[in-house]
Amino acid sequence: MEDIHPGSATSDDPLDISESLVPAREIKQAGQSYVSFDGLLQRPLLLKEDLKEGCGGQLWPAGMVLAKYMLRQHRFSLADKTILELGAGGGLVGLAVASGCEVGPPQIYITDQVPMLPLMKSNIALNNLSRKVKAAVLDWGTTLSDEIPRRPDVILAADCVYFEPAFPLLISTLRDLLGPDSVCYFCFKKRRRADLRFLKLAKRAFQVTEIDDDPEAGTYKRENINLYTIRSKPGTGHHCIDGRDTA
């Protein structure tokens, strides 16, 4: 999938936790990559990869799958939409959408934790997308800051399922962000049985549907990568008060 290969673990993980919680991943050296998404972008993205602040600084397979899906199937359906990427790392998916889809005038927000902020800003600048894309900090499970748009139309999330203790935090943030008309495009690689627990949590909280209009699905499903939409359940009656949902 365009120079992205899952592989072995590293002993330099910033969190000292067992392999049963965090699956093995191939770690690449810091550098820059040109990514055209199999020619879906006329002008390839130039993406800096840097793992010194964590694994989010590398490109991962689900991000490639989600970006290509958005470029193929939603190239002309995102104009005037408020778009936010969760767990963006270097910003692969949000930057691909900004570069190859008809978007705006609202900016696209790519979000992650504080350590990823310089990398996100660097990749925005490298691709001259500062007019279209804004980097912001969003810690899952915490109250949304004022710079995060409430109830964005489209939420993008790729490879956000890898650290089991963070599952409830991600569910909480999705509750805060999903409005009655919002849709989250959610893609992840199932690496271990614990990942299915996230799906169970999500299906209890939201309307989760596997996407069936992607012509490449047969290819990436063989690599245990799946793509879903996540929406609020009809009639759940969620309201946002100070960044928290109440029923």
Q: Does 181 appear as a known binding residue?
A: no
Q: Are 68 and 38 in contact (CB under 8 A)?
A: yes
Nearest-angstrom CA–CA distance, 26 and 9? 6
Q: Does 88 appear as a known binding residue?
A: yes
Which residues have a Cβ under 8 Å from the Cβ of 145 and sit 6 or more positions away? 136, 137, 138
Q: Does 112 appear as a known binding residue?
A: yes
Q: Does 245 appear as a known binding residue?
A: no
- What backbone phi and psi angles, to 5 degrees, belong to 11? -90, 5
Q: Does 62 appear as a known binding residue?
A: no
- What backbone phi and psi angles, to 5 degrees, belong to 239? -130, 145
10 Å Cβ neighbour count for 190? Answer: 18
Using the Cα atoms of residue 129, residue 214, residue 61 and residue 231 in order, give the sign of their dihedral: positive
Q: Does 39 appear as a known binding residue?
A: no
Q: Does 176 appear as a known binding residue?
A: no
Question: Would you list which residues are annotated within the binding site?
Answer: 60, 87-89, 112, 140, 158
Question: Would you list which residues are annotated within the binding site for S-adenosyl-L-methionine?
Answer: 60, 87-89, 112, 140, 158
